[in-house]
Amino acid sequence: MTRHGPAGEESTYVRTYTLTRGRTKPRHLLGLDTVLEAGPGRPGPAQAEECAQILTLCRAHRRSVTELAGRLGRPVTAVKVLVSDLLDADALVVPVIAPYAASSPDDSDDGPSTQLLAALTAGLKRKWPNALAYSQAG
């Protein structure tokens, strides 16, 4: 399907199912905030042009699924399918990063600090004062 733009130039709109070859679900579980970076592998020759764009963006620096979808101007669902293909080819990887940085070298605890948890709890209570406490929380 083609359409003429305001300047008379012709632009082509590629339907989402064409990009993903009819697939609607990625093979990998990906959240909107899943961070990706370029990996050692290469995409297959039949990959969509958007796959090359995704790799270019991720080579510059780490990107989230949401950011990739926004920069490509494509639906998140389609981007997840393409990212899943690139993960299968090892062209993209999900970097393993430490969720909490130790505040000092002597800290052997990898979890959040007591102060952080207390501040989080206070903020949640302020936001939802009528929420019920979950008695089995650990």
Contact (CB, 8 A) for 65 and 30 = yes
CA-nearest of 47, 39, 127 to 82 is 47
Better pLDDT: 133 or 36: 36
State residue 133's pLDDT score: 67
Distance CA 93, CA 125 (A): 37
pTM of the full structure: 0.61
CA-nearest of 56, 54, 41, 116 to 80 is 54
Strands 10-12 and 63-64: unpaired
Better pLDDT: 78 or 21: 78
Q: Where are the domains of the chain?
A: 2-93
| Tokens 């990959």, located at residue | 47
